[in-house]
């Protein structure tokens, strides 16, 4: 069955890139509504933005969506990952600014808020996107691919020169509560030199050592160190789930990313939907729905922030 959140939940924080304060509120929505964002700080015109791959606009370091009226919201990937990972198919996300709050740099605060309110089942069946043949996009930097699979799977590989990150590889079956158990508390990460460069360029103004893992060579500069030895690749998978959820429905298939980022994942979705032979829409029976991300997840499954 399709789902929505039982009651509204709000989050206050600052945007990672703008440094501006914002309040984000997730509200329940009816079946077949999907996920939409609404700018509450804009009084006139169309303030609704669909959380869909074809509304994504190229933006460095984050995922930004924009409607036909030019109204946008950026850094949506963490809240989108939380909604997908908690199995929420329908919601209205209201925000009073142009950028989602970064909170602790992960999806866990959003997950906790959603799970505290609870997820409500709706009568309508879930429609999913079944991948029928491999589709791949690549650049000189990396590649991303979707392939047929009997369920929802993810495999990600990263390779950084910084010894604190290095080479990391992880594969997960994303069924049920895998996201909330394995990925949701993993934070965004960057190099100390990148922080200085971004600040000088007027970017990452809301970034601190408290809402990102900052590394310098083999050192982790953020207080408390890593939450997981492979926190970096887990966060890349978190981002990928948020970006994949912009397909507009859960995907039945294997997503693979090799040094992939937001732009590559969006390009992959565009390539899939450009090829009618690459996918089909399916109405999920109970067995199929139980294999989707977030199906039946419970609050006690949400990961703690202990090192693992």
Pick the closest to residue 84 from 256, 269, 297, 268 (CA basis). Answer: 297
Cα angle: 288, vertex 255, 248; to 5 degrees: 60
> Could you confirm whether 262 is annotated as catalytic?
yes
Please tell me which residue in 89, 157, 228, 262 is annotated as part of the active site: 262
- The DSSP H or E segment spanning 269 is helix 262-273
- Backbone φ/ψ region at 219: left (φ over 0), alpha (ψ -120 to 50), beta: beta
Find out whether 272 and 146 touch, Cβ atoms under 8 Å: yes
Pick the closest to residue 193 from 231, 224, 162 (CA basis). Answer: 162
The tokens for 177 are 């509560």
Find out whether 254 and 147 touch, Cβ atoms under 8 Å: yes
Give the residue numbers marked as catalytic.
262
């Amino acid at each position: 069955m399709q789902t929505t959140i039982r009651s509204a939940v709000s989050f206050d924080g600052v945007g990672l890139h703008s440094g501006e304060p914002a309040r984000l509120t997730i509200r329940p929505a009816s079946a077949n509504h999907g996920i939409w964002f609404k700018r509450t700080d804009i009084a006139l015109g169309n303030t609704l933005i669909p959380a869909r791959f074809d509304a994504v606009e190229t933006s460095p370091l984050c995922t930004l969506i924009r409607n036909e009226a030019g109204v946008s919201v950026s850094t949506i990937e963490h809240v989108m990952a939380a909604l997908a990972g908690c199995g929420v198919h329908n919601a209205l996300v209201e925000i009073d600014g142009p950028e989602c709050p970064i909170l602790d740099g992960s999806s866990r605060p959003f997950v906790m808020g959603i799970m505290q309110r609870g997820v409500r089942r709706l009568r309508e069946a879930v429609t999913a996107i079944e991948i029928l043949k491999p589709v791949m996009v690549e650049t000189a930097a990396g590649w991303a691919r979707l392939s047929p699979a009997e369920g929802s799977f993810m495999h990600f590989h990263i390779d950084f020169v910084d010894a604190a990150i290095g080479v990391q590889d992880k594969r997960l079956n994303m069924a049920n509560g895998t996201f909330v158990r394995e990925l949701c508390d993993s934070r965004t990460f960057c190099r100390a030199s990148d922080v200085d460069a971004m600040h000088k360029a007027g970017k990452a103004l809301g970034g601190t050592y408290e809402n990102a893992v900052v590394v310098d060579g083999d050192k982790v500069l953020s207080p408390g160190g890593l939450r997981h030895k492979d926190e970096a690749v887990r966060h890349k998978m978190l981002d990928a789930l948020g970006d994949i959820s912009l397909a507009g429905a859960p995907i039945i298939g294997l997503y693979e990313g090799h040094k992939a980022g937001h732009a590559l994942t969006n390009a992959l979705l565009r390539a899939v939907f450009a090829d009618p032979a690459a996918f089909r829409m399916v109405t999920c029976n109970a067995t199929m729905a139980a294999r989707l991300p977030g199906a039946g997840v419970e609050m006690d499954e949400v990961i703690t922030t202990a090192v693992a």
